Amino acid sequence: MRELTVLYDEGCAMCVRCRDWLALQRSFLPMRFVACGSAEARTRYSGIPWVGEELVVASDEGDVWAGPAAFLVCLWALEDWREWSYTLSGSAFSPLAERFFQALSSRRRALAAFLVPDPCASGTCSAPASHAPKMAFR
């Protein structure tokens, strides 16, 4: 495996923040980020049923992971997080890690609204909502 492609929901502020965090991390192999709604995603990954519904990671060798497994593959690719990927995928922690990821994923839009509130909630703004300030993980 030489490269991973991470398919993320570009309409979800939390997903975009996670993509930005992943992109800043040192990794053992290159990670490409493709928005689920992009022409590339529709062309290259239309046969994957979870695209747009779950985090999806595809390798250059044709392997595909979705949901919690995709999250663990992302951690596995990162230099500072590989050991955690092994710990979280082990028999002691995998059920907990899966439930945690599913809970986050199923509530991602609500969490995104909490993390990045709509700057135009009153309807008086003239700037598009996409110009909202970005917050970085610390």
Parent domain of 94: 4-115
Determine, yes or no, domain membership for 34: yes
pLDDT band, residue 54 (cuts 50/70/90): confident
Whether pTM > 0.85 for this model: the answer is no
- For residue 108, what are the contacts with CB-CB under 8 A and spacing of at least 6? 9, 12, 14, 15
Determine, yes or no, domain membership for 126: no
Determine, yes or no, domain membership for 128: no
Handedness of CA 91, 57, 14, 21 (dihedral sign): positive
- For residue 78, what are the contacts with CB-CB under 8 A and spacing of at least 6? 22, 25, 26, 27, 28
Q: How many domains does the chain have?
A: 1
Give the per-residue pLDDT at 131: 41
Max CA pair span of the chain: 52
pLDDT band, residue 97 (cuts 50/70/90): confident
pLDDT band, residue 117 (cuts 50/70/90): low
Could you tell me which residue, 124 or 48, shows the higher pLDDT? 48
